[in-house]
Amino acid sequence: MATDLPLVFEAPRRGKAPRHLADLDAAGRVAAVTELGLPKFRADQLARQYYARLNADPVEMTDLPAGVRDSIGQALFPELMSPVRHISCDDGSTRKTLWRLHDGTLLESVLMRYSDRTTLCVSSQAGCGMACPFCATGQGGLDRNLSTAEIVDQVRAAARAMRDGEVGEPGRLSNIVFMGMGEPLANYKRVIDAVRRITEPPPNGLGISQRSVTVSTVGLVPAIHRLAGEGLSVRLAVSLHTPDDELRDTLVPVNNRWPVSEVLEAARAYADTTGRRVSIEYALIRDINDQPWRADLLGKKLKAALGPLVHVNLIPLNPTPGSKWDASPKPVEREFVRRVNEQGVTCTVRDTRGQEIAAACGQLAAEER
Ligand code: SAH
């Protein structure tokens, strides 16, 4: 009988996440507590518990009558994800968490402490459909979109871990980057809702400044334009990786749909509307995209398209298992930076955290599979 089989024989169910408080806006919360037959003020109480006290388990919500904690738990606080493991490195200042979602889907988030800030790298999808050949997540394809609550809860859990001193001295989570698994702009509505929940002040959200949130994209042009119209002041990062269409068609396959020129135009529109500098991500890959002429071309194109409203982040390639590609040698990297700067475009090398814990996008989940 199937019910006698050990769990391990069950194929993972890939499904939608159950509804959670963090999926709902203020009106939705009121409707949900009313549905449960509870007075309206409970909605505000639950939001305070979740966003201000960072509690996700009704057992800890001692200001609720014991009799309703169960029904509230079932209706609004299903367990969205449980940690499979935490891995730390960089003397404990980096911690990567592998989460298992309710349907068995795996995802990762990474907490990085710096002297002046603490950044959480969050996932927006389980897997990714963009198929960039150097990225571990890209190799596995897309499992599914994350729900708003599955994104927000990664942040809540990290904010709580920081508050409680689970990752070094107690501190405050200050920055969010959508640079974990997935293409955030391919899960547009849920990501935007999550950004609102993450940035609104308690009790409606976690109170992280919009300016401290970075949304990173492969360059989905219509979605970049749409993002510019949201009235948010989040930072936009564009994963360019090369200034020419010929190579970008293979490194970032979606370039076949929206070429470099259109991506840079959209980036410009974003910068003009929001007044924020756009970050250009460039994973430097030995003998693939690290030639001096590419550095010159990158500098020229960015200068022409964005003027001073751009900054280049070079990311030394973090090789994925089995890949034939590698990071560029340091002298090549330095020359690349020098040439981009020479065109009048600022360029810095991203500090590489978490190399020894397989922190490149999606590596931990790939190993677990
Ligand atoms: N899909 C989004 C966000 C997730 S990836 C995007 O592509 O922007 C975050 C950044 O990490 C992207 O710039 C991505 O290209 C880069 N990246 C992925 N795999 C990498 C690797 N193995 N080494 C270095 N950078 C990598």
So where are the chain's domains? 21-76, 81-368
Q: Which residues contact 17 (CB under 8 A, 6 or more apart)?
A: 80, 101, 102, 103, 146, 147, 149, 150
Name the pLDDT band for 13 (thresholds 50, 70, 90). very low
Nearest-atom number in ligand 1 for the CA of 128 is 1
Q: Are 237 and 245 a contacting pair, CB within 8 Å?
A: no
Nearest-atom number in ligand 1 for the CA of 216 is 8
Nearest-atom number in ligand 1 for the CA of 319 is 22
pLDDT at 10 over 50: no
Q: Token pair for residue 70?
A: 């169960």
- Residues labelled catalytic: 108, 361
Calculate how far, in angstroms, residue 226's C-alpha sits from the geometric centre of ligand 1: 22
Chain-wide mean pLDDT for the chain?
A: 91
Mean pLDDT of 127-137: 94
Calculate how far, in angstroms, residue 308's C-alpha sits from the geometric centre of ligand 1: 24
Q: SS3 helix, strand, coil % of the chain, rounded to 5?
A: 40, 20, 40
Pocket test for ligand 1, best of 179, 288, 324, 351 (most atoms within 8 A of CB): 179
Dihedral sign for Cα atoms in the order 166, 168, 174, 178: negative
The whole-number pLDDT of residue 353 equals 65
Name the pLDDT band for 350 (thresholds 50, 70, 90). confident
pLDDT at 319 over 80: yes
Query: Which residue's CA is the nearest one to ligand 1's atom 8?
Result: 217
Name the pLDDT band for 261 (thresholds 50, 70, 90). very high
75-110: pLDDT as tens digits:
999 999 999 999 988 878 899 999 999 999 999 899
Q: Which residues contact 172 (CB under 8 A, 6 or more apart)?
A: 118, 159, 162, 163
Cα separation, 337 vs 77, in Å, equals 48
Q: Do domains 21-76 and 81-368 have the same CATH topology?
A: no
Calculate how far, in angstroms, residue 179's C-alpha sits from the geometric centre of ligand 1: 7
Nearest-atom number in ligand 1 for the CA of 363 is 22
291-308: pLDDT as tens digits:
999 999 999 999 999 999
Nearest-atom number in ligand 1 for the CA of 318 is 23
224-260: pLDDT as tens digits:
999 999 999 999 999 999 999 999 999 999 999 999 9
Pocket test for ligand 1, best of 108, 110, 135, 279 (most atoms within 8 A of CB): 135
pLDDT at 11 over 50: no
The pTM of the full predicted model, rounded to 2 decimals, is 0.93
Q: Are 224 and 184 a contacting pair, CB within 8 Å?
A: no
Mean pLDDT of 38-59: 96
The whole-number pLDDT of residue 9 equals 37
Mapped onto helix, strand or coil, the DSSP state of residue 45 is helix
Pocket test for ligand 1, best of 154, 278, 281, 352 (most atoms within 8 A of CB): 281
**Ligand 1 pocket at CB < 6 A:** 130, 132, 134-135, 179, 183, 216-218, 239, 281, 283, 315, 317-318, 320, 360-361
Calculate how far, in angstroms, residue 131's C-alpha sits from the geometric centre of ligand 1: 11
Query: Which residue's CA is the nearest one to ligand 1's atom 5?
Result: 179
The whole-number pLDDT of residue 95 equals 93
Calculate how far, in angstroms, residue 132's C-alpha sits from the geometric centre of ligand 1: 8
The whole-number pLDDT of residue 93 equals 87
Calculate how far, in angstroms, residue 362's C-alpha sits from the geometric centre of ligand 1: 9
Report how far apart the first and last C-alpha atoms of the chain are (Å, whole number).
27
Q: Is 275 left (phi over 0), alpha (psi -120 to 50) or beta?
A: left
Q: Which CATH number fits domain 21-76: 2.70.160.11, 3.30.70.20, 1.10.760.10, 1.10.150.530?
A: 1.10.150.530
Cα separation, 107 vs 15, in Å, equals 14
* More confident: 35 or 9: 35
The string of DSSP codes covering 77-141 is ----EEEEEEEEETTTTEEEEEEEETTS-EEEEEEEE-SS-EEEE--SEEE-SS--TT-HHHHH-
Calculate how far, in angstroms, residue 359's C-alpha sits from the geometric centre of ligand 1: 11
- CATH H-level superfamily of 81-368: Aldolase class I (3.20.20.70)
The whole-number pLDDT of residue 367 equals 61
Residues in the chain: 369
The whole-number pLDDT of residue 365 equals 61
From the list 195, 182, 196, 109, the residue with the least C-alpha distance to 146 is 182
From the list 304, 294, 292, the residue with the least C-alpha distance to 261 is 304
Amino acid making up residue 56: A
The single-letter DSSP state of residue 199 is H
Q: Token pair for residue 100?
A: 């298992």
pLDDT at 157 over 50: yes
Pocket test for ligand 1, best of 235, 239, 284 (most atoms within 8 A of CB): 239
User: What is the percentage of the chain residues whose pLDDT exceeds 90?
Assistant: 84
User: What is the percentage of the chain residues whose pLDDT exceeds 70?
Assistant: 91
